[in-house]
Chain A
Amino acid sequence: MLTIKNLCYKTQDKEILKDVNLVFENGINVITGQNGTGKTTLAKILMGIVTATSGQILLDEKDITKLSIDKRAKLGVSLSFQQPTTFKGITVFDMMKLANKDIKTIKDACTYLSMVGLCARDYINREIDKNLSGGELKRIEIATILAKGGKVIIFDEPEAGIDMWAFDDLTNLFLTLKDKIVIIISHQKRIMEISNKIYLFNKDGEIVVTDKTKLFKEVEESKCSTLRSQNANTK
């Protein structure tokens, strides 16, 4: 269980997250909402990359609010970045080995690449640099996080840049993780369809916790214009 208590995040000129209180349980949790509502910021705060202005984060009963990124990573918090980082000279294989010490052979690493639909042989020795396309980087990022594993696995817009036909594979992949706390930031209806809970971030900083049946119904009845316009954009 991941508990967020009274979490606030302010920059000099803006209040991005205000008094967030959430509990994430095992299963597929989807966070959705318009651009700029603080979804990525929350993911980074959970990973420890961004420090909250105030508030508390508890993993099970342990207070992890003040822990460094690597300590959280070791406790089982994992984040697949919205924007994957590129390197010079670090190969896909190197990265897999860094993510999981039990990966020793190319074969070990290939398992994870195959899961994200990459022909492992073609990618294993590629450097994770700007010569890879956005979609390729994204898949490698997801494969790295699958290799790392953990208790709380956060995917920030995993579908971005990934072709539509690969969607079934992606959703099936997430379903295999459902005994963990999976948090997926997404705008995709097909990802919401496999969710246990949906967290809708609104422009005014409010977060509505709902489920797919309720949400889709509201969208139908156009009560929730936000999400409707969004799904129209991504179709």
Chain B
Amino acid sequence: MQTLNKIEKELLEQISSLHNIEECSVNIRKNGQCVVRKTNADIEIESKKDKEGINIFVKDGTKNKGCHIPVILSVSGLTDTVYNDFYIGNDVDITIVAGCGISCGGGKSEHNGIHRFFIGENSKVKYIEKHLGLGNGGERVINPVTKVFMKKNSECNMITTQISGITDSKRTTFARLGENAVLNINETLFTTDNQTCETHFKVVLEGKNSKAHIVSRSVAKDNSKQNFFSSVIGKNACFGHIECDGILTGHARIASTPKIDAGCEDALLVHEAMIGKISNDQILKLMSLGLNKEEAEQEIINGFLSSKI
């Protein structure tokens, strides 16, 4: 087993702070290799035979368990592509923590994590994903792909954040919801300098009474660029809501391209998007409490990015 150096430990800490869960199964991947693996009777992890990645099997009825699968890249010149599939049984309640931390000095490192979730009936999944880059110069690229297939009465709460150090990314999320399935996604993005970030959401509300609620909060600073694409398709009696809320500072740019497509008269789909600079009223209010303009802006951005669903 390879041990982790100081920077690697710091990355790990930041992307995968351990949560209050009875027992966790763990798979830590470093520079393209699995360095730590811990499984248990309820959550099995096996390496894929045909390509890089793992299969995770969660037994029916597993409750209050956690699974951590962080990825660390600490060398430059590496492109790590990994396929992780989660097979989640029925009546499960689980928290999955994934994420990628890159520290590559002056070169370029890239991580492409393709995650698929097959969620069984009546199961509840909380998925937390953090992406982080450390260090100056160089390119730290992350292209996460997340696909979620949800059976009857299942629930999935996804919290994804990419708030610092990733130079370029293309984030793709696809979900298909069965009857009564509920999907909540809360995405937080913060780009600075010349970073670019593209987000694609496609949600198909296939089952009767399925519900999706997607909130993307983003801040674009300096010369960074963000491009947000969303598509919600309602094929049954369902409810879909997408909200894209962006704050711009400096010469940054945020574009939002929504698409809502309802093919059933009992489908209700809503899209909201708002992009603008920091509200002047908010700045004035905080200044009247004694903060200077810069402090006020910082507090507003911190709050905005920490907001919960």
Q: Does A1 contact B (CB under 8 A)?
A: no
Closest Cβ–Cβ distance, residue A45 to chain B (whole Å): 13
The docked-state distance in angstroms from the alpha carbon of A127 to that of B292 is 22
**A90 with B287, Cβ < 8 A, contacts A70-B292, A85-B281, A85-B282 known:** no
Task: Write the nearest CB–CB distance from A2 to chain B, whole angstroms.
Answer: 16
Interface of A is mostly: mixed
CB distance from B188 to the nearest CB of A (A): 10
- Check A165 for interface membership: any CB of B closer than 8 A: no
Q: Please determine whether A89 and B287 come into contact, CB atoms closer than 8 angstroms.
A: no
Interface size on A, residues (CB 8 A): 24
Chain B residues with CB below 8 A from A89, complex form: 302-308
User: How many B residues, CB 8 Å from partner?
Assistant: 24
| Residues A70 and B303 in contact, CB atoms below 8 Å apart | no
Whether A90 pairs with B289 at a CB distance below 8 angstroms is no
Distance in Å from the Cβ of B249 to the closest Cβ of chain A?
15
Bound complex: CA A121 to CA B211 (Å): 31
Q: Which of B267-309 contact A (CB under 8 A)?
A: 279, 281-282, 284-293, 299-300, 302-308
Q: Which residue of A lies closest to B292 (CB)?
A: A70
- Our pick among A73, A88, A95 for the contact of B287 (Cβ within 8 Å) is A73
Say whether A73 contacts B290, CB under 8 Å.
yes
What separation, in Å, do the CA atoms of A89 and B279 have in the docked complex? 14
Against B, the Cβ 8 Å flags (1 = close, 0 = not) of A61-89 are: 00000001110011000110100010111
The residue from A47, A49, A70, A127 contacting B291, defined by CB atoms under 8 A apart: A70
A90 proximity list for chain B (CB < 8 A): 299-300, 303
A98 at the interface (CB under 8 A from B): yes
**Chain B residue with minimal CB distance to A148?**
B289
The answer on a CB contact under 8 Å between A88 and B307 is yes
Partner of A98, one of B289, B292, B306: B289
Decide: B290 and A81 in contact? CB cutoff 8 A: no
Partner of B300, one of A68, A87, A148: A87
Q: What is the count of residue pairs linking A and B with beta-carbon distances less than 8 angstroms?
A: 63
Q: Smallest distance from the beta carbon of A154 to chain B beta carbons, Å?
A: 10
Least CB distance, A128 to chain B, in whole angstroms: 9
Are A88 and B289 in contact (CB-based, < 8 A)?
A: no
- The complex places the Cα of A81 from the Cα of B288 at a distance, in Å, of 10
Closest CB of chain A to B182's CB: distance in Å?
20
Please name all residues of chain B whose beta carbon is closer than 8 Å to the beta carbon of A136 when the two chains form the complex.
none
Q: Is the CB of A73 within 8 A of B307?
A: no
B91 located at the interface, meaning its Cβ lies under 8 Å from any Cβ of chain A in the complex: no
Q: Is the CB of A87 within 8 A of B289?
A: no
Interface residue B245 (Cβ < 8 Å from any Cβ of A):
yes
Q: Are B307 and A127 in contact (CB under 8 A)?
A: yes
Q: How far is the CB of B59 from chain A (nearest CB, A)?
A: 36
Residues of B within 8 A of A94 (CB): 299, 303
In contact, B288 and A47 (Cβ under 8 angstroms): yes
B residues 45-88 near A (Cβ < 8 Å) are: none
A87 proximity list for chain B (CB < 8 A): 282, 300, 303-304
Residues A99-135 near B (CB distance < 8 A) = 99, 127
Asked if A70 and B307 make an inter-chain contact with CB atoms under 8 angstroms apart, the answer reads no
B282, B289, B305: which contacts A99 (Cβ < 8 A)?
B289
Whether B288 and A79, one on each chain, are in contact in the complex, defined by CB atoms closer than 8 angstroms, is yes
A196 to B214, CA, bound (A): 54
| Smallest CB gap from A76: residue in B | B290
In the docked arrangement, what's the CA distance between A85 and B307, Å? 17
Is the CB–CB distance between B303 and A144 below 8 Å?
Answer: no
Give me the interface of A with B, judged by CB distance under 8 Å.
47-49, 68-70, 73-74, 78-79, 81, 85, 87-91, 94-95, 98-99, 127, 144, 148
Pairs across A and B, CB under 8 Å, 14 listed: A68-B287, A69-B288, A70-B290, A81-B285, A85-B282, A87-B303, A87-B304, A88-B217, A89-B302, A89-B304, A99-B290, A127-B307, A148-B289, A148-B290
